Amino acid sequence: MRLFVGLGNPGAKYAGNRHNIGFMAVDRIAADHGFAPWRARFQGQLAEGLLDGEKVLLLKPETFMNLSGQSVGEAMRFYKLTPADVVVFHDELDLAPGKLRVKQGGGHAGHNGLRSLHAHIGEEYGRVRLGIGHPGHKDRVSPYVLSDFAKADQDWLDDLLRGISDGAPALAKGDAAGFQNAVALRRAPAKPAPRAETQSVKPAQNPGHTNPLSPLQALANRFRR
């Protein structure tokens, strides 16, 4: 069994925020793969389903970002899961918008949601880092992540979320490379092979007559006379 956790803040006020891209990721997986309806569990919203035969739980903590670890820890204890069974989807300032990286274990890099997870379950959980870009100065980070994605972001955001959904079955099986390949294909679909073109046959310059001699052949013939 796997536990996929999307990080974000609850409520309509935050639904479109950059900080909520983790919620968006698990919402897309649930919708595309026919998961059971969301229900209130473990201080959050939980949905259950199968990904290519693998039992997967989707969790959106509703404790607000800074206390996400409370919800995740409660769910893990109930299902007797280990950190290795958990994958967390979260926003990442240090990746360009639309970029994605998969990582197992490591630090929290100042992310408040990950900081809470570290405190409650340790650091050995998996994470899918979803690039949202950086506003350029640390003083602008808070208003930036708590602002909605711009209209110009919608195309790459939709491609990224679709790719996450496409690759979710691979991720459930622990195939990080297959998951990332699925995302890459959605973000930059393979170009169709060019169609073979038949070579056009040029019409003879003097239809109905034999081809004229080359200038060199004509000169040689003059001296043969």
Stretch 104-110: mean pLDDT? 91
Residue 192's pLDDT is what? 66
CA dist., res. 1 & res. 15, Å (int) = 28
Alpha helices for 101-175 (secondary structure H) = 112-121, 141-145, 154-172
Of the chain, the percentage scoring pLDDT greater than 90 comes to 81
Of 200 and 153, the structure prediction assigns the larger pLDDT to 153
Q: How many CA atoms lie within 13 Å of 81's alpha carbon, on the beta-carbon side?
A: 24
Model confidence, pTM: 0.83
Domain ranges in the chain are 2-187
Residue 188's pLDDT is what? 79
Per DSSP, 168 falls in state H
Number of Cβ within a 10 Å radius of residue 148: 12
CA dist., res. 26 & res. 72, Å (int) = 14
Q: Which of 225, 93, 215, 206 has the alpha carbon at shortest distance from 146?
A: 93
Fold that domain 2-187 belongs to in CATH = Rossmann fold (3.40.50)
Q: Among the options 19, 33, 90, 111, which is catalytic?
A: 19
Report pLDDT digits (tens) over 15-42.
999 999 999 999 999 999 999 999 999 9
Of 103 and 194, the structure prediction assigns the larger pLDDT to 103
Q: In the annotation, is 19 catalytic? A: yes
Tokens of 127: 């994470």
Residue 221's pLDDT is what? 58
Identify the band that residue 113 occupies on the pLDDT scale cut at 50, 70 and 90.
very high
Stretch 174-178: mean pLDDT? 96
Stretch 68-93: mean pLDDT? 97
